[in-house]
Amino acid sequence: MSVNHNDIKEFLLKSSGREIRINPNNEIPKSPNPLKLSKWYEEELKWINKQIDELEEEFGMCNICKEGCNHCCKLAVPVSHAELLIIQKETSKFSADIKDELLTKTVNICKLLDANELSSNIHPSRHHSNEGIKASYYELNITCPLLNDEGRCMIYPVRPVSCCTYRAYNSYNDCINAHVVDTAIAFDEYGLFLNNNMAKAKKDKAYFKLIPLALRDALSKRL
């Protein structure tokens, strides 16, 4: 089914204001260690995605996203400190060789970001400057370092909030050559809901880092 920008606007208009339900079977942990936080977060991602799935079914929308499709993995992804702890826990499961390879790849990306003055923290309230960062990041054609050789996310069950709440609806081709896709939706209200719950579990900092910078810190244990 072909989807255009007007279809996206109509979907957003009809579904706006929908109450986001709290997961009754996954209580927010208090001051959890990274393992508990990671397990809780994985269940919350499933819960949030289930609600977005229900919206799509109700309004006859069908996203084209699937694991292994990675065009959106060149977008600038902001990561909170709580997400960083989860990433560190997940990457700690990797073999020493994979961690060394991943750190080398990530450090090289971070050098590129430094050279282009894109190493600043992202502040959620500074929308205009954040949009500039996202555009500049996309122009560098950086592929997320967490993609493996098959183009699949190595931490998919606990991928960042921005990744799991982003969905495309028309054609894979729409996502290839632009960082702003008018037939895609970033379900920001669901992302904000999840980030707020994470902040209740783990007191968070007021800023985010781009995923290569966050991953470098996680692998180097600079938290």
57, containing H or E segment? helix 34-58
185, containing H or E segment? strand 184-186
79, containing H or E segment? strand 78-79
Q: Give me the residues of the chain with pLDDT under 50, please.
A: none
What global pTM score does this model have? 0.89
210, containing H or E segment? strand 209-210
147: DSSP letter: B
Residue 176 is predicted with a pLDDT of 85
Please state, in angstroms and rounded to a whole number, the distance separating the CA atoms of residues 31 and 198.
10
Please state, in angstroms and rounded to a whole number, the distance separating the CA atoms of residues 190 and 44.
11
**135-144 tens-digit pLDDT:** 999 999 999 9
Give domain status of residue 7, yes or no.
no
Give domain status of residue 24, yes or no.
no
Residue 223 is predicted with a pLDDT of 52
Residue 127 is predicted with a pLDDT of 59
Give domain status of residue 4, yes or no.
no
Give domain status of residue 5, yes or no.
no
| Structural domain span for residue 153 | 31-220
Residue 54 is predicted with a pLDDT of 94
Residue 163 is predicted with a pLDDT of 93
* Backbone φ and ψ of 120, nearest 5°: -75, 155
Number of domains in the chain: 1
Give domain status of residue 13, yes or no.
no
Residue 125 is predicted with a pLDDT of 57
Give domain status of residue 10, yes or no.
no
Give domain status of residue 8, yes or no.
no
Give domain status of residue 165, yes or no.
yes
133: helix, strand or coil: helix
Please state, in angstroms and rounded to a whole number, the distance separating the CA atoms of residues 128 and 57.
33
Cβ proximity of 193 and 44 under 8 Å: no
